[in-house]
Chain A
């Protein structure tokens, strides 16, 4: 069955995973990766032989996928770049265990930080784990590379990462699909491989040697995805991902660019012989890749000729690539368009949804803190739609770092003597990594006040189901937090003041929906 479908880049990965015969898809929502899971989830809903499940966090999602692979089936796991930090323990160690059924990891990076707290480059994490990563530059490649990644994963018996960036993950285009394969089990990992999966030091040492020994085969297997294209110019370009997409399009409009020799990279690790062979053809190189200067650093180490990119200032050191930046670096003229408006245009920032209970909760908290005589209290916030409270004029939270940090940071501050030490966390973030932090908070006996803002969904990424649904209060009590009434309630200053003036760990869930009116 060949179909012509319109899909986002992230969706194309999900679609390919379905067509490649995965038994299951797992993930944790995070822009711009979310649509990859949701697309395959919708396909799986019509197929009772398969499963799609959001997990409590990215590490759990990755381990679910690894278990499915162990059982012999193909599987997809999706997350955003910072989510891979949470899953890094599982990802790095699955390089040692290897996989049985093909395991493909979709990671979507966010250069330019459209909706993320950093712009880390997942290619570096793949290298760190000694694992292969494929980097598409078009929606069709998102699909084709994912199909290829499953084959590669089973051939190498290793997990394979498909790395997208925001512009590609959220680029919509027509997609040609392949035949849909039904999930076929290879059977559970055979008996003679059991020790490969048991990473006690004696096995792990052996498996690390095995992993390093696989590197040469990996390079060979990926070699057809990277290529040198000869040209007549002594100026060359090294291209990867969206850098390749932007350059290809510029070369449509500026035929003279086609004379430049190119090094095109779509898979890592790459053959180390490619770079010297490329550099021998050119005196000067422009490197266009999204995010960190990965290729650029490698070329710079070879020290043959001038290398232009983010390191020498030809491109900005941070932020997203754009066609304009490529033009500027290459010395091409920019088009003369209409003049920009001279009127001062204020930023239209995202805001809380109308009627959102989080606003009431924050206002109650601020009023209670004023009533306690600490109007300049510092409050530890967390990642989610409630992070919007960091903006003026509300400015209700004063630190936002990563998923689950609010509770632990408040405990750390309390242990240094800060009072009141207040944390604010949403229900899904609480389920993601607030739970272990709360366990430590309870055990520490530190005087912290934790506000769990329960809106019963993952609000920031499009209202996916929250795994903590209807469980928040019981989970808090189960952690050994002293029963305190009412643990849940409609936010109001008096209710909140009693929480903030408690002298031991105290957690309250604010929700409009869970409380009977």
Chain B
């Protein structure tokens, strides 16, 4: 009897960036793909510009623990470069890191950006995304998160159709234009991975 594989995604960023929304979209997409999925989030004190992180676990077997151990995550989606470095050790040896290059400097002692980028580039399986440039190109200030999810989606067992359905439903209440912009950002992110990694 072989043990079922348990997969994990870690999402990190700064309060207000939408970490929890991305986690919820991923959770719903995995669940609709017939997988068992759980999401864990820690907030409260962390809402006010502090570090925020969430986890999503999924498997073909029913799960009970919403959190995974260090060294067991398949994917880390980080909306902020320093917040990526905090969780790199959560990744498996062959895990992927999808990270925004855009720093949020709202505290003392933020390390030199070049050091942060160098540390990220030293992580095997790291994909750095210039979300600032992407947002400018798409004329959509908040495109970054959805673009990172788009890039990350290429590592997840969810069909494009399911992603589109879940994203559309998520933004339905905000109108057709907002939904369109988010789908566009998601697609842009998916496109990036083909350019840079050639998956």
Contact B49 A171 (CB under 8 A): no
Nearest chain A CB to B36 CB, angstrom units? 8
Inter-chain contacts of A373 with B (CB < 8 A): none
1/0 per position for B158-175, CB-CB distance to A under 8 A?
A: 000000000000000000
A511 within 8 A of B: no
Interface assignment of B124: CB less than 8 Å from any CB of chain A = yes
Q: Which residues of A contact B83 (CB under 8 A)?
A: 348
Query: CB-defined interface of A306-323 with B at 8 Å, one 1/0 digit per residue?
Result: 000000000000000011
Taking CB as reference atom, which chain B residue is nearest A356? B48
User: With A115-B44, A138-B64, A249-B6 in contact, is A172–B50 under 8 Å at CB?
Assistant: no
Contact assessment for B49 and A173 in the assembled complex, using a CB-CB cutoff below 8 Å: no
Contact with A along B61-72 (1 / 0, CB 8 A): 101111111111
Chain A contacts with B in 365-416, Cβ cutoff 8 A: 385, 388
Name the one of B15, B40, B82 contacting A345, with C-beta atoms under 8 angstroms. Answer: B82
Cβ A338 vs Cβ B95 within 8 A: yes
Is A245 an interface position by the 8 A CB rule? yes
Question: CB distance B39 to A337 under 8 Å?
Answer: no
Contact A254:B65 (CB < 8 A) given known A341-B85, A343-B111 = no
Of A172, A254, A323, most buried by chain B (CB within 10 Å of CB) is: A172
Q: How far is the CB of A253 from chain B (nearest CB, A)?
A: 5
* A164–chain B nearest beta-carbon distance, Å: 13
Cα–Cα, bound, A166→B41 (Å): 9
- How would residues 28 to 55 of chain B score, 1 for a CB under 8 Å from any chain A CB and 0 otherwise? 1001000001111111111111110000
Any chain B CB within 8 A of the CB of A350?
yes
Residues of A144-169 whose CB lies within 8 A of B = 166-168
Set A171, A252, A255, A348: member contacting B6, Cβ < 8 A: A252
- Decide if A171 touches B66 in the complex (CB within 8 Å): yes
Is the CB of A49 closer than 8 A to any CB of chain B? no
**Is the CB–CB distance between B50 and A171 below 8 Å?**
no
Residues of A96-118 whose CB lies within 8 A of B: 114-115
- The residue that B51 contacts in the complex, of A249, A342, A348, A385, with Cβ under 8 A, is A348
Q: B107–A323 contact, CB under 8 A? A: no
Q: Across the interface, do A167 and B66 meet the contact criterion of CB distance under 8 Å?
A: yes
| A335 lies within 8 A of chain B by Cβ | yes
Is A249 within 8 A of B63, CB to CB? yes
**Number of A interface residues in the complex (CB < 8 A):** 56
A216 at the interface (CB under 8 A from B): no
Q: Does B99 contact A (CB under 8 A)?
A: no
B195 at the interface (CB under 8 A from A): no
The residues of A that contact B107 with a CB separation of less than 8 Å are: 346-349, 351
Would A351 and B106 count as touching, CB distance under 8 A?
A: yes
Confirm or deny: A482 has a beta carbon within 8 angstroms of a beta carbon on chain B.
no
Q: Please report the number of residue pairs spanning A and B whose Cβ atoms sit closer than 8 angstroms.
A: 163
CB-nearest residue of chain A to B15:
A350
- Cβ of A353 within 8 Å of any chain B Cβ, yes or no, is yes
Q: Which residues of B sit under 8 angstroms from A252, Cβ to Cβ?
A: 3-4, 6, 59, 61, 63
Q: Which among B40, B44, B68, B72 has the greatest number of chain A C-beta atoms within 10 A?
A: B44
Residues in A with CB closer than 8 Å to B69 are: 322-324, 327, 334-335
> B48–A137 contact, CB under 8 A?
no
Cα-based distance from A174 to B30 in the complex (angstroms)? 11
Find B38's partner among A173, A352, A462 (CB 8 Å cutoff): A173
What residues of A have a CB within 8 angstroms of the CB of B50 in the complex? 348-351
Indicate whether A268 reaches chain B with its CB closer than 8 angstroms: no
Say yes or no for B1: interface residue by CB 8 A criterion.
yes
What 0/1 readout, one digit per residue, does chain B (88-109) give for beta carbons within 8 Å of chain A? 1111110100000000001111
Contact status B3-A253, CB under 8 Å: yes
Given A171-B38, A172-B41, A345-B86, A337 and B91 contact (CB-CB distance below 8 Å) = yes
The yes or no answer to A6 lying at the interface (CB within 8 A) is yes
Complex CA–CA separation, A460 to B47 (angstroms)? 9
- The stretch of B115-123, B128-136, B149-157, B178-186 that contacts the partner chain: B115-123
Q: Given A166-B42, A340-B89, is A346 in contact with B109 using a C-beta cutoff of 8 Å?
A: yes
- Report yes or no: B67 in contact with A322, Cβ–Cβ below 8 A: yes
Closest Cβ–Cβ distance, residue B70 to chain A (whole Å): 6
Is the pair B88, A339 in contact by a Cβ cutoff of 8 Å?
Answer: yes
Cα distance A249–B72 in the bound complex, in angstroms: 13
A246 part of interface (Cβ distance < 8 Å): yes
Return the chain A residue nearest B97 by Cβ: A338
> Which residue of the partner chain, among B45, B64, B116, B119, contacts A342 with CB atoms under 8 Å?
B119
Q: Taking A170-B43, A348-B50 as contacts, is the C-beta distance between A336 and B3 under 8 angstroms? A: no
Q: Which residue of B lies closest to A137 (CB)?
A: B64
| B44 with A32: CB separation less than 8 A | yes
B89 to chain A, nearest CB (A): 4
B148 at the interface (CB under 8 A from A): no
CB-based contact B110/A346 at 8 Å: yes
Query: Is A47 an interface position by the 8 A CB rule?
Result: no
| Cα distance, A242 to B15, chains bound together (Å) | 26
Residue from B45, B64, B91 having most chain A Cβ neighbours under 10 A: B64
A344 at the interface (CB under 8 A from B): yes
A245 touches B37 (CB 8 A): no
| Chain A residue nearest to B41 in the complex (CB) | A170
Chain B residues near A335: list those with CB within 8 A. Answer: 69-72, 92
Q: Determine whether B75 belongs to the interface, using a CB cutoff of 8 Å to chain A.
A: no
Residues in chain B within 8 A of chain A (CB atoms): 1, 3-4, 6, 14-15, 24, 27-28, 31, 37-51, 59, 61, 63-73, 82-83, 85-86, 88-93, 95, 106-111, 115-116, 119, 123-124
Contacts A173-B37, A344-B111 known; list 8 others, CB within 8 Å.
Answer: A137-B64, A174-B31, A248-B64, A323-B65, A335-B71, A337-B73, A350-B49, A351-B49
Q: Which 6 residue pairs spanning A and B have beta carbons closest together?
A: A337-B71, A115-B44, A31-B44, A335-B71, A350-B50, A340-B89
A-B contact pairs, 19 of them (CB 8 A): A6-B24, A6-B31, A138-B64, A139-B38, A170-B40, A244-B64, A252-B6, A255-B1, A322-B67, A337-B89, A338-B123, A339-B89, A341-B88, A343-B115, A345-B85, A345-B86, A348-B51, A348-B106, A462-B47
